[in-house]
Structure 1
Amino acid sequence: MKNQAKRPNDQGELTAEEVVAYLRAHPDFFVEHEYLLGEIKLPHRSGSAISLVERQVTLFREQRDKYERQLYDLIETARHNDRFFEKSKRLLMNLLEAQSLDEMVIVLEDSFLTDFNVDFCSLILFGDKNRYPVSNIIMQDLEKSRDVLGDLLDGGRAYCGRLDDGKKEMLFGGDANEVASAAVIPLQYGETLGVLSIGSRKGDYFQSSMGTLFLSYISDSLSRMLPPLLAKEGTAGSS
């Protein structure tokens, strides 16, 4: 004779805990009693009761929709990154062909304003403006600039977000009032050479939470291209 489980109450009724324990101990129970799945009723968010099978189907559909949205987001992110890579590669290839500081600025402005659809672009170099006879580059004193820009220069990394009026005026000049958000990219190679700034009329276009890998890549490349051009322009200015 098989042993019977003892009941915790006088009526000999199964408790919910016993049912749960039994089902956990026999995970194939509903495989052998599949017809019960259609009889079990569960509450639904609509207010009506549905069978366990219907509930499972609903859950599977919700999971499927969730995974489809995640897959779509991943594909869109990959496409976005691919477009950014192509644009940045095109920018760097054109920069490598620049033979002067003036040409470098033309390439930067054409790329950011046209290819990347950014509203404003500014390149500021630090040094004696009388030494470099370039027409479309702003030359400023490093120490005076540091007094205004502060850790934007000393941090060594690109900054994205909103700027106060003083910083915007120094970086964007007459366009300062139209700049709602910006990315500020210090250019350093042994020393602080300058700062590249790109701005947008949209306040949320550049945010502190956005990644700066692409901007750091541009910064590292520009920082290595600048010294030879500065030496060339400086020689031309002193002759």
Structure 2
Amino acid sequence: MSNEAKKQAPTAVVDDSLIAAYLEENPDFFDRHTDLLQHLSVRHQTQGTAVSLVERQQQVLRQRVHQLEEEITELMITARRNEELFRYFSELYVKLLQSKSLAEVMDSLQQTFSEQLQMPALTLKFFDSPLELESQFTFAADTHKQLLSKRFNEDTIYLGRLTTDEQKLLFPSETIASVVLLLLGEKGELGMLAIGNHDAGHFEPAMDTLLVKQLQVLLSQILPPLLQHHEAR
């Protein structure tokens, strides 16, 4: 073949992806070519030194093991936290079922959320109640209706942030950054439980609501008889 013909002949191109695909499809390649392991080396990204493929593989495996250990540790911490939350809520349910007055309900809620879960603010309010309830359990006039129309279009639970006016309505003496709001009653007509936290990211819309939904159902069942008892006194 002439020099000119050699120049015009197509040059075979083997890119990284083809090599990687071949090695992936032939995992025994280095078993069949053990001599290559003695000559090939990989530059260590952090140390700047050349190491053999075997050494590099060991380093990668150690790093992966360390990463998996960290992930397992995080999962164990989350599991312990979830177990703790479940225990607190289970104890709260029992206390609420044993409550004989609104004051006892509030004491149980405060003990769980303020003392055990470190939630700095909690409010229980009733809507359009004919009872002469203490001011802590009622909204002034119709001040809550705008809050209801804005935060509860499709659900009876709201998680997230509030405006400054909404915060003052629910927590006049606390600066609250995020809340969970639970409408109480079969259709949310009875009232609202509001729990607040100083951390803006503590309550997020994507959070799981299983435990607070159970609390919502329980309060919706036990509060009407307690309100009637309060009225009869």
Q: TM-score, normalised by structure 2?
A: 0.80
Q: Is the 8 A contact 2:92 2:109 kept in 1?
A: yes
The answer for the alignment partner of 2:73 in structure 1 is 72
SS of residue paired to 1:140: coil
SS of residue paired to 1:207: coil
* RMSD of aligned Cα (Å): 3.0
d(CA) in 2 for partners of 1:26 and 1:197?
61
Q: Confirm or deny that 1:194 pairs with 2:191.
A: yes
Q: Is the 8 A contact 1:160 1:181 kept in 2?
A: yes
How far the C-alpha of 1:216 sits from its partner, in A, is 1.9
How far the C-alpha of 1:197 sits from its partner, in A, is 0.8
Q: Confirm or deny that 1:215 pairs with 2:216.
A: no
SS of residue paired to 1:150: helix
The answer for the alignment partner of 2:170 in structure 1 is 171
Change (3 A) 1:67 1:26: closer
Q: Is the deviation greater in 213-222 or in 81-90?
A: 213-222
Q: Confirm or deny that 1:182 pairs with 2:179.
A: yes
Long gaps (5+) in structure 1: 1-8
Change (3 A) 1:24 1:204: closer
How far the C-alpha of 1:122 sits from its partner, in A, is 0.6
What is the identity, as a one-letter code, of the residue corresponding to 1:165? T
- The correspondence of residues 75-90 of structure 1 with structure 2, limited to 5 A, is 75-90=76-91
Q: How big is each residue's C-alpha offset from its partner over 1:75-112, in whole Å with a ceiling of 9 and x where there is no partner?
A: 11100100000000111110001112222112112221
Q: How big is each residue's C-alpha offset from its partner over 1:104-133, in whole Å with a ceiling of 9 and x where there is no partner?
A: 1121122211121111111001123xx434
Q: Is the deviation greater in 102-111 or in 78-87?
A: 102-111
d(CA) in 1 for partners of 2:141 and 2:221?
19
The answer for the alignment partner of 2:40 in structure 1 is 40
Q: Is the 8 A contact 1:181 1:206 kept in 2?
A: yes
What is the identity, as a one-letter code, of the residue corresponding to 1:63? R
Q: How big is each residue's C-alpha offset from its partner over 1:184-209, in whole Å with a ceiling of 9 and x where there is no partner?
A: 22213144211111112333333344
The answer for the alignment partner of 1:162 in structure 2 is 161
The answer for the alignment partner of 1:231 in structure 2 is 228
Q: Is the 8 A contact 2:152 2:158 kept in 1?
A: no
SS of residue paired to 1:204: coil
SS of residue paired to 1:216: helix
Q: Is the 8 A contact 1:125 1:137 kept in 2?
A: no
SS of residue paired to 2:203: coil
What is the identity, as a one-letter code, of the residue corresponding to 2:100? Q
d(CA) in 2 for partners of 1:189 and 1:38?
74
Identity %: 29
- The correspondence of residues 3-82 of structure 1 with structure 2, limited to 5 A, is 16=14, 20=19, 27-45=27-45, 46-82=47-83
d(CA) in 1 for partners of 2:34 and 2:207?
52
How far the C-alpha of 1:36 sits from its partner, in A, is 2.6
Q: Is the deviation greater in 77-86 or in 189-198?
A: 189-198
Q: Is the deviation greater in 210-219 or in 87-96?
A: 210-219
Long gaps (5+) in structure 2: 1-5
d(CA) in 2 for partners of 1:145 and 1:25?
65
Q: TM-score, normalised by structure 1?
A: 0.78
Change (3 A) 1:142 1:32: farther
What is the identity, as a one-letter code, of the residue corresponding to 2:161? R
What is the identity, as a one-letter code, of the residue corresponding to 1:110? Q
